[in-house]
Amino acid sequence: MISEVETKGGRYLKLINELKMILGIPPNTTTAAEKLLSALGAAVSIFAVAFFTARFALVQDTAYVMIVASMGASAVLLFAVPHGALSQPWALFGGHLISGVIGVTCFQVFGNSDMSAAVAVGLAVGVMYFLRCIHPPGGATALTAVIGGAGVTDLHYQFIFNPLLVNVVVILAIAIIFNGAFFWRRYPAHFYFQQSHYTSTPIAREFELSQEDLSAALQQHNSFTDITEEGLNDLLELAKQHANETSIHPQQIVSERFYSNGRLGKFWSIRQVSSINSVKNYFLPSDRVRFQVVAGENKGTSQESSLAEFIQWARFEVIQSDGRWVKPL
């Protein structure tokens, strides 16, 4: 019998997991060193942008602060997500400069008004989308060109070249130099994906996922995804490389250990064995396994099955490392 405490605990775990998914809280997938590198790169880049803006840009005071703020948003992308689609050079250049032109034009037509600000940001988003250079800080740049004050608006279209272009060139240069010092952070992302970092040869599969399948899935998804096609291919190849490793159903199930069914997507599940009991009963197999579902489908529930059924379900043993489920070394 499953105790009331176990049942309530499972419900609470399921509720917490559902809340995390609603809020969009992802699992931890990077090391502390990687997080610190991202922070350091962002700090260095903003220092460089501020340094060059103060000495070569034409705007001063409040406008200067607002432009640096726009670059601060870009720094988050270039140093925390250097391989993301929103972080690549065309997104950076096109997103800022095209949005800047739109913002200046809207101010010329509508003046400093709510209408001007709304149209500038709306047009910037639409044009960035059509020109395949979506860069969220571009919306802030378009808005700056409208509400940046006289220090910005008096520059008219010269604002695009100085200080905006100065800012973009500086932060791009720092991103290339800083990220390039670490082979796993090469920027632009194409430099990283050109590297050969696969160590196994794919084995024959009944249904091998193809590039055409990937393209069709992206088209059917019909929503912007912040990962380049190269990046997605890379993740899939790494996943297949792991799948190529010999994985057999464990013949010995041990209490308190974790097991995965090796599925993908919503059918994936991790179970922790609570107990294995020998039952001499005419109606039941001799060995029964009680387990908790700790991740994936039916998370938070307590269940029971025969030992034979559990062995057939369990593709391999797993352990938790840095918030992720992985095969033990």
Shared-domain flag, residues 72 and 166: yes
Last residue of a domain, which of 185, 200, 223? 185
* Mean pLDDT of the region 124-149: 95
Q: Please spell the DSSP secondary structure of 74-126, one letter per residue.
A: HHHHHHHSTTSGGGSHHHHHHHHHHHHHHHHHHHHHH-SSHHHHHHHHHHHHH
pLDDT at 207 over 60: no
pLDDT at 202 over 60: no
CA distance 193 to 196: 8
Q: Per the domain annotation, does 62 fall within a domain? A: yes
Q: Per the domain annotation, does 270 fall within a domain? A: yes
pLDDT at 286 over 80: no
Last residue of a domain, which of 163, 185, 207? 185
Last residue of a domain, which of 161, 185, 209? 185
- pLDDT attached to residue 61: 55
What residues does 269 pair with on adjacent strands?
296
Please report, rounded to a whole number, the percentage of residues in the chain having pLDDT higher than 70.
79
CA distance 212 to 18: 33
> What 8-state DSSP symbol labels residue 142?
H
Is the bond into 27 cis (omega within 30 degrees of 0)?
no
pLDDT band of 18, cuts 50, 70, 90? confident
Q: Per the domain annotation, does 224 fall within a domain? A: no
Residue corresponding to tokens 């992308």: 77
For all residues of the chain together, what is the average pLDDT?
83
Shared-domain flag, residues 75 and 177: yes
Q: Can you point out the beta strands (E) in 206-323? A: 258-260, 269-278, 287-296, 302-306, 316-321
- Taking CA atoms, 304 is separated from 6, 111, 245, 261, 309, in Å, by 13, 69, 29, 15, 10
Task: Give whichever of 19-28, 46-55, 210-219 has the largest mean pLDDT.
Answer: 46-55
Q: Which domain holds residue 297?
A: 258-326
- pLDDT attached to residue 296: 84
- pLDDT attached to residue 24: 80
Q: Which residues contact 46 (CB under 8 A, 6 or more apart)?
A: 68, 71, 72, 75
The residue ranking higher by pLDDT, 289 or 246, is 289
Assessment of whether the complete model's pTM goes beyond 0.75: no
